Structure 1
């Protein structure tokens, strides 16, 4: 590995660690059941403001949500690995901005089986727009039309799955798939298929295991978001590595 790639990976990892420490506050506020308003106060009763930061009350110092260790570690590792696989290319900035959002979405879905529009829709629109900018810069290794087609393809595939079996999948998964498909489509159909399978197959195995061990019934729902996010990340790594010189 070249020295500049090591520097990029270390820098991205440090950025990821910092970004990950800002996730817990938003994770706490957004982890509510469908139809409920976002949390505006901590369990201690003090009002909460803003969206980024640690899950500790500014007034009394009490902890009201998840710690920063796992979000910081997950975001740092994902950002460092992404930089190492993709290299110093314009699209790397897009991936580094998307990783903390993906970690946040995975955390919210795992907590309350929900993928909020306030995250999934900006992720999809922002990824598409920023990749359009990246495509105009020297050194870009992907295709913006391919990204748009990937978003439409993966989003459309999950829409069909949702329509076929609404009880087993939420519409938030469809919106998330559109954004993730946009990222995967940037590197072509191979990355798209790889990322889609890397998310769907482990989720199917996990769901089957839950039923076999009777930890969930046939009509139960599971958090699909973490699998989709992880699979898309692996697909981006594979796509970025494949196009490196």
Structure 2
């Protein structure tokens, strides 16, 4: 994709990024989950730049793939989910469901457009594998993995499965490497304690994005 063609994609990403904080604010705080404004709000001004980079990265990686609009839509809702999870350690079911419907409906349409139903089957298999793997992780003794994370991982398995086995495997591994590295860094800096709960949703989304870039 040429640099000129990337300009409207980046512009769209910036516009979406401007809307992310307001949309996320509709879901924070919630009863039983007090807000943590010092963390997300300090960086909220970065949202348009981050979204622009995310959109451009997807456009470069997917190029002429008919599912590119689907990936951009999933990324848009995913960024809202990331901000909400950072703010109050929750992944609202309504947003996760919206992401699932966007991914499933969009990928079904892309498969019809490309006359390639096998890729849709791959997407469904990816969701099943990602969901099952995270259910097992959540059931491990001492696991802090919430079922909101499990549901998001399963949804992200749809676009990753669309891209194939390698993207799916990378999307399963990278989030936990990112999250683990962050936790170790924060522990070393004494910014958190061993019992501090940290959101996994942003790492799931970032890892999925990186997996697409590497696919």
TM-score (norm 1): 0.77
How far apart in 1 are the matches of 2:19 and 2:118?
A: 30
**What is the aligned partner in structure 2 of residue 61 from structure 1?**
none
Shift of 1:29: 2.0
Query: 1:175 and 1:76 mapped to 2: Cα distance?
Result: 26
User: Quick check: 1:14 aligned with 2:14?
Assistant: no
Partners of 1:118 and 1:204 lie apart in 2 by: 28
- Tell me how far apart the structure 2 counterparts of residues 149 and 89 of structure 1 sit (CA, whole Å): 19
Which has more helix, going by share of residues?
Answer: 2
Structure 1 residues 169 and 84: alpha-carbon distance in aligned structure 2, compared to 1, 3 A threshold: same
Which deviates the most, 156-165 or 27-36?
Answer: 27-36
Asked if 1:31 is matched to 2:31, the reply is: no
Structure 2: gaps (5+ residues): 34-40
- Equivalent in the alignment of 2:204: 228
Compute the RMSD of aligned alpha carbons: 2.4
Describe the shift of the 1:34–1:158 C-alpha distance in structure 2 as closer, same or farther (beyond 3 A): farther
Give 1:161-240 correspondences, 5 Å limit.
Answer: 161-165=137-141, 168-239=144-215
Gaps of 5+ in 1: 37-64, 240-245
CA shift at 1:68, angstroms? 6.2
Q: Match for 2:56 among 74, 80, 92?
A: 80
- Distance in 2, matches of 1:139 and 1:83, equals 21
- In the superposition, the TM-score normalised over structure 2's length comes to 0.87
Deviation at 1:33, TM superposition (A): 3.7
Over 4 Å off, 4+ runs: 65-68, 139-142
Alpha-carbon spacing, 1:130–1:209, altered in 2? closer, same or farther (3 Å): same
Q: Which has the larger Rg?
A: 1
Offset of 1:31 from its aligned partner?
2.0
Residue aligned with 1:30, SS: coil
Q: Deviations over 1:211-230 (max 9, x none)?
A: 44443333331111111100
